[in-house]
Amino acid sequence: MPTRVRLAEIIEALSRALDLTEGQPAGHCIACCYIGTAIGAKLGMSGEELRDLYYTLMLKDLGCSSNAARIASLFDADDISFKRNFKLVDGSLSQVMRFLAKNTAANAGPIRRMKRLVNAMRQSGEATVEIIRTRCENGAAIARQMRFSPAVGAGIHDLDEHFDGGGHPLGKKGEDIHIFARIALLAQVVEVFFRDAGPEAALREVVKRSKTWFDPRVVEAFCDVAGRRAFWQQLASDDLEAIVLSQEPGEQAIMADEDYLDDIAAGFARVIDAKSPFTSGHSQRVADFADMIGDQMGFTDMRRRKLRRAALLHDIGKLGVSNSVLDKNGPLSPEEWGTMRRHAEFSEKILSHVAAFAEMAIIGGSHHERLDGKGYPRGLKGAEINLDTRIVSTADVFDALTADRPYRAAMSTDDAMTILWRDAGLALDPACISALERGLQQSQ
């Protein structure tokens, strides 16, 4: 039977991947959604406006993966911890300078660190605009691809604009900034400071930034909401995800059909692949190769559709891996390998939050297992690895071999197939390799 899944449930689960790449704990976007929709309701927004605001808040960081490589390169830093720490900076010159001095090339020797710091400070103005523009434009474009309204896209696009005109990328001012963005920025700061130091710290930060970062009208609405003890109790509750899901605005829940699930998977594949210049298009190509194998194996159209979806999302956990590891031009240390291996675990955890994605979660968590039991993360062996996972694994390895990587150039198709056959029966399923080979021959 065709699948129909509640849209809010899907977006809540996938928002956890956005939390990863921003260095935030799982549930950051969900908490922002709780804060922001309470503000929107206080401002008297209609049900339709609140629904669009709800999804803007959940997806505010859709474009965040696209600036990760640039941050890691410019500041010689772990982009994830860099972003996490920067959330506590108020934008004043003194705080920014202290932050850069502490977080630029933190693991380098003193001479290299000083050179990188000077270079970063020299470029920081233009680089900041570029980094934020890329994030904002990509996020808005992906929201449109996922069928969200222009208002949701505008809210995501304007997230880093400030009420006094001091934000980026366009320096918008006052009510020229979309109201969803004005609420989302405040909600983001509240969530970060509340988690770091409690309600009083969050309130102080909001009041301090009123008229500069924040719209005073939005600040006033938040202060009114924050005066209710139940607001902070629910924000700190272990049941917050269920609370936010139950409070989805509108007269009835939006359901996603098969076509919509395809669009959501394709949209998040763009988020995943934007994380590194070396993975551009990787998820889409793995989906194409997996579909090719499924076709050769006689899969039904519905099974191929679900396989393709799983292939698009199999690497979603890589959003939790720093680009200092993903893009490293050289062998990884044992510690870095440990970090890299965790991406399969992250993929499974994220996808398992949607009951209808159970099969995808298995594939996301197991696509680096090997038939001989030497894979990760669980060391599964033989029949413990299902066929759909074996297919995605084969497609994943083939694309990795035939695409450029930081440590080597792309291989030819023939060379890649030679390596696949060398691992037949050990890492990969010979039947999957054979099906891929037939499919490639027919496509020529």
Q: Confirm whether 7-254 and 257-443 share one CATH topology.
A: yes
Residue 150: cis peptide before it, omega within 30 degrees of 0:
no
Residue-level pLDDT at 317:
96
- Considering the four listed CATH numbers 1.50.10.10, 1.10.3720.10, 3.30.750.24, 1.10.3210.10, the one that applies to the domain covering 7-254 is 1.10.3210.10
Please, what CATH class does the domain formed by 257-443 belong to? mainly alpha
**Catalytic member of 83, 318, 328, 349:** 318
Burial class of residue 2 (count of CB atoms within 10 Å of its CB; 0-12, 13-18, 19+): exposed
Cα–Cα distance for residue pair 332/405, rounded to 1 Å: 13
pLDDT digits (tens, 9 = 90+) for 309-349: 999 999 999 999 999 999 888 889 999 999 999 999 999 99
Residue-level pLDDT at 385:
98
Cα–Cα distance for residue pair 220/218, rounded to 1 Å: 5
What is the full DSSP assignment across 223-290? HHHHTSHHHHHHHT-TTHHHHHHHT--SSS--EE-HHHHHHHHHHHHHHHHTT-GGGTTHHHHHHHHH
What is the full DSSP assignment across 122-157? HHHHHHHHHHHHHHHHHHHHHHHHTT--HHHHHHHH
The answer for residues whose C-beta is within 8 angstroms of residue 401's C-beta and 6 or more apart is 410, 411, 415, 416, 419, 420
User: Phi and psi dihedrals of 214, rounded to 5?
Assistant: -110, 145
Of 162, 160, 159, the residue nearest 212 (C-alpha): 162
Cα–Cα distance for residue pair 253/5, rounded to 1 Å: 10
User: Which stretch of DSSP H or E encloses residue 5?
Assistant: strand 5-6
Q: Is 428 helix (H, G, I), strand (E, B) or coil?
A: strand
Residues lower than pLDDT 70 in the chain? 1-3, 124, 406-407
Q: Is 408 helix (H, G, I), strand (E, B) or coil?
A: strand
**How is residue 117 written in tokens?**
């710091």
Of 166, 174, 170, 223, the residue nearest 200 (C-alpha): 223
User: Phi and psi dihedrals of 268, rounded to 5?
Assistant: -70, -25
pTM for this predicted structure: 0.93
Residue-level pLDDT at 100:
85
**How is residue 356 written in tokens?**
């209808």
CA distances from 80 to 34, 76, 77, 86, 154 (A): 24, 12, 9, 10, 25
pLDDT digits (tens, 9 = 90+) for 203-213: 999 999 999 99
Task: Show the CA angle centred on residue 11, arms to residues 6 and 12, nearest 5°.
Answer: 100
Residue-level pLDDT at 163:
98
Residue-level pLDDT at 92:
84
**How is residue 192 written in tokens?**
């970060």
Cα–Cα distance for residue pair 120/97, rounded to 1 Å: 11
Residue-level pLDDT at 277:
86
**Domain boundaries defined on the chain:** 7-254, 257-443
Is residue 312 within 8 A of residue 283, CB to CB? The reply is yes
Q: Is 318 a catalytic residue?
A: yes
Cα–Cα distance for residue pair 197/210, rounded to 1 Å: 19
Residue-level pLDDT at 3:
66
CA distances from 277 to 68, 81, 274 (A): 10, 20, 7
